[in-house]
A and B are shown apart, each in its own frame.
Chain A
């Protein structure tokens, strides 16, 4: 799960960078940058969930 989170973080960043390079108009560019950030936040949540230990593991 943590690996998936890390991959989502990277994917989000690629969306952000691609939006800058591909869209000249501010509207779609801003939208895609925010979408990329959203993907990163999902990845961060996934990474945190993957790291949280269950009580049994934490023993």
Chain B
């Protein structure tokens, strides 16, 4: 079960220091989600985030890691036309196979706990103001126990996507060094599934077809959250590259630089586009552009030069800005935090960009993206649809009218705030 050397070495020590910083990404992301939601659901958003991180950690350790495993560990394989396809890990449940002693495997599990927590926060952003707390916990359990480990095994656990290079000569196999696919796109596609199932917030798409903007309640949270995410994201990209892609610790500065530059380019692209289109820069879209750059950097950060990282981040910022509008105004998808655009769209772009800029990688990256869209999306939609049949995920009319704080928690996040009467008028 432990294919790595048990003794500490430089990559393990470097990864350990980096993994300790990753929770900052979660904290920043939670703050952003809450700020982009409404006042009357702020406490619900914070508690929901905490609960999602907790459920994800527990379920992943009890069940998920046994499906994911580590590269070189035991697994279920299928032989097709003489090639061995590694489909699923075969590791004891409840982390029973882990050995004490600070091995890379233990560190990989710790990193995955944070990674799956981050993936679990993405759908919460999209389902804000109408997704029941208990339902979001069950949905998180499905994500952490099945969807995430399955794809993460294929990419990071020596699965068939990682074997595309050795089996079919497709470059180095599907490359996802920082989790753009395994964390971001899986989370983003789960967010899309959840939004499709629970539907838009009441009053979002009016009878005349106009979708009124429902602005976030605290843009300071959003922008501070975006800043707080940065160190955590740098650590996530670097730790994943060392532990799962075999990058040497000497590469950490380049990964950090590429992450920062990609985020900066994404943010500035969004600032410029919103300035040109609406005469003034839009703060929440600019923060989403920053996040889009970070997500794209998770794919390309380990493999490209800083100038290419800037270009990739800039395109991610442009894509996020237009995708938010396309989803809301043309496709009637109510995603309050822009999670689908930031994580799924920018993540897919980043993964494809690896194919453009790393020689011989293009087909492997296309196969990875096709797997995300063609298998992960139907799988996560199907699981959440089944959950909704058994346990309805959307809150009732009172929940939306009163706000999730009062309805599910019994108290608001800001009890001393004046609540305006029109907030309680039925639309």
Cross-chain contact B373 with A33 (CB below 8 angstroms): no
Cross-chain contact B378 with A10 (CB below 8 angstroms): yes
B270 → chain A, closest Cβ, in Å? 23
Closest to B330 in A: A52
Cross-chain contact B381 with A33 (CB below 8 angstroms): no
Partner of A58, one of B205, B366, B370, B382: B205
Interface bracket on B: 20 to 34
Tell me the total A-B contact number using a CB cutoff of 8 A. Answer: 81
Chain A, 20-40, CB within 8 A of any chain B CB: 20-22, 29-30, 33-34, 36-37, 40
Query: A2-B196, A51-B333 are known contacts. Are A16 and B374 too (CB-CB below 8 A)?
Result: yes
Q: A6 at the A/B interface (Cβ < 8 Å)?
A: yes
Closest to B83 in A: A21
Q: Does more than half of chain A's interface fall in helix, strand or loop, or is it mixed?
A: helix
Cross-chain contact A56 with B207 (CB below 8 angstroms): yes
Q: B81 at the A/B interface (Cβ < 8 Å)?
A: yes
Could you give, for residues 58-93 of chain B, a 1 whenever the CB lies within 8 Å of some chain A CB and a 0 otherwise?
Answer: 000000000000000000000011010000000000
Q: B200 at the A/B interface (Cβ < 8 Å)?
A: yes
Chain B, 374-427, CB within 8 A of any chain A CB: 374-375, 377-378, 381-382
Query: A6-B382, A55-B208 are known contacts. Are A34 and B374 too (CB-CB below 8 A)?
Result: no
In Å, the complex CA distance between A29 and B366 comes to 12
Q: B367 at the A/B interface (Cβ < 8 Å)?
A: yes
Cross-chain contact A36 with B370 (CB below 8 angstroms): yes
Closest to B382 in A: A6
Q: A44 at the A/B interface (Cβ < 8 Å)?
A: yes
Q: B110 at the A/B interface (Cβ < 8 Å)?
A: no
In Å, the complex CA distance between A12 and B369 comes to 12
Q: Which of A6, A34, A43 has most chain B Cβ within 10 Å?
A: A6
What is A's interface to B at a CB cutoff of 8 Å? 2, 6, 9-14, 16, 20-22, 29-30, 33-34, 36-37, 40-41, 43-44, 47-48, 51-53, 55-56, 58-59
What is B's interface to A at a CB cutoff of 8 Å? 80-81, 83, 164, 168, 196, 199-200, 204-209, 331-333, 363, 366-367, 369-371, 373-375, 377-378, 381-382
